[in-house]
Structure 1
Amino acid sequence: MSLILLLSACGLLAIGMPVAFALGVSTLCAVMLGSDFPLIAMLKQTYEGVDSFPLMAVPFFILAAELMSGGSLTEVLLKFAAQFVGHRRGGLGYTNVVSLTFFSGISGSALADAAGPGSMMIRMMDKAGYDRAYAAALTAATAIVGPIIPPSIIMIIYALQDERVSVGALFVAGFIPGLLIAAGMAAVNWRVSTQRNYRGDEDVATWQDKLQTTWRALPALMLPVIILGGMRAGWFTPTEASVVAVFYALVCGKWIYRTLRWEALPDILSRSSLLTASVLIIIGMSNAFAWVLTVDGLPLTLAEWMAAQQLSAMGFLIAVNIFLLIFGIFIEPLPGVMVLVPILAPVAAKLGIDPIHFAMVVIFNLTLGMITPPVGGLLFVTSNVSKVPLAALTRELKPFLVAHAVILALLTFWPGLSTWAPHALGFQ
């Protein structure tokens, strides 16, 4: 049954079928051709995949991000980032990195970051004389910080697959790796800007202007602090935190920034609903896909095989990294987490690997698949919004991929980068 499942899934993905439908059709083929289970069993597993109270946080965090975007938050964060780094050589590149990092603390989605503030920064960099392909590559490479810095949808899904970690622990664990990714992208921007002589903005903001811009951006920057602080203080659960985020975003957009219009709410709700539906379809189909693998005994077989290899903890992490880098080329992060975490996480736990450390390695690794051709979804979104051919975008992406590989190695060999912050705050 597993053979039918995997072969059909690979074939459907190869011909370009959307991931959710490829997983669903391959599961259907496996159940019909390789088992005696009734088809209703697949429907039951698909429903159970989305029948989860913690999963309610996903649509609310998506709605909060849409409300913040509708409230002109993007412009506020761009001005806030530009005042500190815009005047330096390659200043707009640094502004791109900093603004996307700040926005990731609101959206939780790499695609939203690239399509929203990322598209604005690409146009600004193009007008300022930057190569448009380079601007698009910088945006795509930096946007993957979205699922790393909280709130993160993929972290919520991961915590549902591995009971050894909590959503709060993963949210806190994402801060240092997220900042490390931003620093790596800024380093690449420094090198390229020096080589190509990309100049910064000659106008330097005064301290008075900086204070005014910072004061205006402060309400937006407080959203991740409120979410994490409230969860750590025990005021609300991650699911309740998502509802708090919606109300806070509404207050910011309507009454603090006064740029959110009531007539815009139907469009915001519509976009949020469509994005939520697409995420939940992937989750439901992935759960059915993983169920077939579990019923057929593949996770147990794989775990026994890995145990027989007598790999050390570090050897296992290296093997997982290689496997996930290849796997992530062909499948999106959400279904990757749904399918692989129930298989790999128990093996990692038996080898004594900290579950938080392992979670961050897996999440970052699978997220990298969004910018690796041929399937990288983030590449297609960025190419579309920037009007840059995919081939030109991929060529400019090479130094950023090298920087990401270095950061992945640091996260793999230095567990404290992922575990220090959550352990310091009492998450186990």
Structure 2
Amino acid sequence: MGGMLLGSFGAGMLARIPIGFALAGASLITLYLMTTNDLAIGAQRIVAGIIPYPLLAVPLFILAGGLMNVGGISKRLLGLADAIVGRLTGGLAHTNILSSVFFGGLSGSSVADVSSLGRILIPAMKERNYTAAYAAGVTAASAIIAPILPPSITLILFGVVTGTSIGQLFFAGIVPAVIYMAVLMVTVLLTVKRRGFDQTSRATVDPREIGRTPKEDIPAFLPALWSAIPALMLPVLILVGIRGGIFTPTEAAGMAVAYSLLVGVFIYRELTPVKIYEAMKDSIGLIGLILLVMATAQLYSWALTSGGVPQSIAGALLELSGNPIVILLLINVLLLIVGMFIEANAAIIILIPILFPVAMELGIDPLHLGVVIVVNMGLGLVTPPVGLNLMLASEIAEVDIFEGIKGVWPFLVSGIAFLLLLTFVPALSTWLPGITF
């Protein structure tokens, strides 16, 4: 049964069937041909995949990110990032990375990060003498920060599937996200001088979009910070509220939507009814895609479990080694390969029921495992053939995917080094939630 499930899904992917339909089709075909179960159970499992109350946080955080993007919050965050790091060599590349930290802490979605920030920063980087491929690469790689930082949608899914505290997972991602930001900035410093980027003295970028790009015209830090404070307060409110027991992660998502509306309408005064409609329309498309994948992945995961696939793989892993580090390294290799072909949220729901029991039997901390898996899935977003971040960034930069790969590979190498650091040093993920909760 397991072989038929995997084969049917692989055939669907090769036929370029959308992943949600490929998962559902493989599950239903296998159930029909190899079991006597009523196919109505397929519909039941699909519905069960989106019933858990904590999952309500996913569409709410996506909507909050959409409102922030059209309500002036993204623009203020870009201006602040430019004021902080714009004077460094490779200033716009650093601004790109720091903006992803700010915006990722608001939206929780890597794809939303690329879509919103990339449309401003990639053209600006091309104006400053960066190649289009490099601009696409740094944008795609920096957006990986979003799934690591709270309110990460991927961490929410991991928490729902495993029963791990979502609040603790949020805190577990903060230190790794800061380290990854530093790794990316070092990579920029090592690459921009050698490639001769960012050497022009003037740019034609609209200063109202990202602040003034030329070094002598960069806006003062304090005015930029003052303008961005309402936007920066949202992640603080989320973390303090969750830690203080004021609201659950799901309630925090609802609060984020209300806060985005208030800031966009009454403070920045850029959020009009037309823009609210646009944000809701764009968010509905992304929400529908994610929920479809989540629902059908739940059915596929249930079918795998019914066929005994997780038990067989778990037994094989434990026979290979009883060393937690060795098992984590094997998990890294598996997830890096899977991430090349399967969307991150679907991979979480399919693979976690297989990998989580093995990790728990070996005493691996679930917070450590969660962050390692999320980083793996993030790296999958910049690796072909299904690297959504890389494809979207390349499209915005107007280059083909092969040029995008040339631009992203230094950051991918740095990301794998960062992943190994996380694997060997669990305290990077467990220290902050350990002292906070």
TM-score category of the 2 structures, normalised to the smaller one: over 0.9
Q: State whether residues 8 and 26 of structure 1, in contact with CA within 8 Å, keep that contact through their aligned partners in structure 2.
A: yes
* Corresponding position of 1:10: 10
Aligned AA (1:108): G
Question: What TM-score do you get using the length of structure 1 for normalisation?
Answer: 0.96
Match of 1:306 among 310, 314, 317: 317
Q: State whether residues 31 and 37 of structure 1, in contact with CA within 8 Å, keep that contact through their aligned partners in structure 2.
A: yes
- The reply on whether 1:140 has 2:140 as its aligned counterpart is yes
CA distance in 2, matches of 1:142, 1:104: 10
Query: CA-to-partner distance for each residue in 1:149-189, whole Å, 9 max, x for gaps?
Result: 111111111111112x2110111111111111111111111
CA distance in 2, matches of 1:253, 1:341: 38
CA distance in 1, matches of 2:318, 2:413: 32
CA distance in 1, matches of 2:87, 2:144: 25
- The reply on whether 1:325 has 2:324 as its aligned counterpart is no
CA distance in 2, matches of 1:176, 1:16: 38
Give 1:377 shift: 1.5
Aligned AA (2:119): S
Give 1:196 shift: 2.6
Q: State whether residues 71 and 275 of structure 2, in contact with CA within 8 Å, keep that contact through their aligned partners in structure 1.
A: no
- The reply on whether 1:30 has 2:30 as its aligned counterpart is yes
Question: What TM-score do you get using the length of structure 2 for normalisation?
Answer: 0.94
1:9-408 to 2 correspondence within 5 Å?
9-163=9-163, 165-197=164-196, 198-199=198-199, 201-203=214-216, 205=218, 209-408=220-419
Structure 1 SS opposite 2:381:
helix
Deviation larger for 68-77 or 302-311? 302-311
Match of 1:416 among 418, 424, 427: 427
CA distance in 1, matches of 2:215, 2:170: 38
Poorly superposed stretches of 4+, deviation over 3 Å: none
Name stretches of at least 5 consecutive residues in structure 2 with no aligned partner.
Answer: 202-213
Deviation larger for 84-93 or 153-162? 84-93
Query: CA-to-partner distance for each residue in 1:11-30, whole Å, 9 max, x for gaps?
Result: 11122221111111111111
Query: CA-to-partner distance for each residue in 1:402-423, whole Å, 9 max, x for gaps?
Result: 1001100000000011110111
Structure 2 SS opposite 1:50:
coil
Give 1:10 shift: 0.8
Aligned AA (1:335): A
Q: State whether residues 61 and 257 of structure 2, in contact with CA within 8 Å, keep that contact through their aligned partners in structure 1.
A: yes
CA distance in 1, matches of 2:37, 2:183: 50
Give 1:229 shift: 0.5
Q: State whether residues 86 and 218 of structure 2, in contact with CA within 8 Å, keep that contact through their aligned partners in structure 1.
A: no
Q: State whether residues 100 and 118 of structure 1, in contact with CA within 8 Å, keep that contact through their aligned partners in structure 2.
A: no
CA distance in 2, matches of 1:366, 1:85: 28
Aligned AA (1:329): M
Aligned AA (1:140): A
CA distance in 2, matches of 1:399, 1:384: 20
CA distance in 1, matches of 2:322, 2:380: 25
CA distance in 2, matches of 1:314, 1:38: 42
Q: State whether residues 176 and 418 of structure 1, in contact with CA within 8 Å, keep that contact through their aligned partners in structure 2.
A: yes
Q: State whether residues 104 and 146 of structure 2, in contact with CA within 8 Å, keep that contact through their aligned partners in structure 1.
A: yes
Deviation larger for 303-312 or 375-384? 303-312
CA distance in 2, matches of 1:217, 1:202: 20
CA distance in 1, matches of 2:254, 2:395: 32
Structure 2 SS opposite 1:260:
coil
Query: CA-to-partner distance for each residue in 1:106-138, whole Å, 9 max, x for gaps?
Result: 111111111111221011111111111111111
**Corresponding residue pairs, total:** 423
Query: CA-to-partner distance for each residue in 1:53-90, whole Å, 9 max, x for gaps?
Result: 11111111111111111112221111111112112221
Structure 1 SS opposite 2:147:
coil
Identity of aligned residues (%): 38
Structure 1 SS opposite 2:216:
coil
Name stretches of at least 5 consecutive residues in structure 1 with no aligned partner.
Answer: none
Aligned AA (1:10): G
CA distance in 2, matches of 1:202, 1:4: 59
CA distance in 1, matches of 2:405, 2:321: 38
Structure 2 SS opposite 1:330:
coil
Aligned AA (1:323): L
CA distance in 1, matches of 2:375, 2:23: 22
Aligned AA (2:216): D
Give 1:205 shift: 4.3
Q: State whether residues 119 and 396 of structure 2, in contact with CA within 8 Å, keep that contact through their aligned partners in structure 1.
A: yes
Aligned AA (1:193): V
Alignment RMSD: 1.2
CA distance in 1, matches of 2:334, 2:280: 38
Aligned AA (1:31): L
Give 1:278 shift: 1.1
Give 1:259 shift: 0.8
CA distance in 1, matches of 2:75, 2:251: 28
Give 1:204 shift: 5.2
CA distance in 1, matches of 2:395, 2:120: 13
Structure 2 SS opposite 1:177:
helix
Q: State whether residues 24 and 299 of structure 2, in contact with CA within 8 Å, keep that contact through their aligned partners in structure 1.
A: yes
Q: State whether residues 151 and 171 of structure 1, in contact with CA within 8 Å, keep that contact through their aligned partners in structure 2.
A: yes
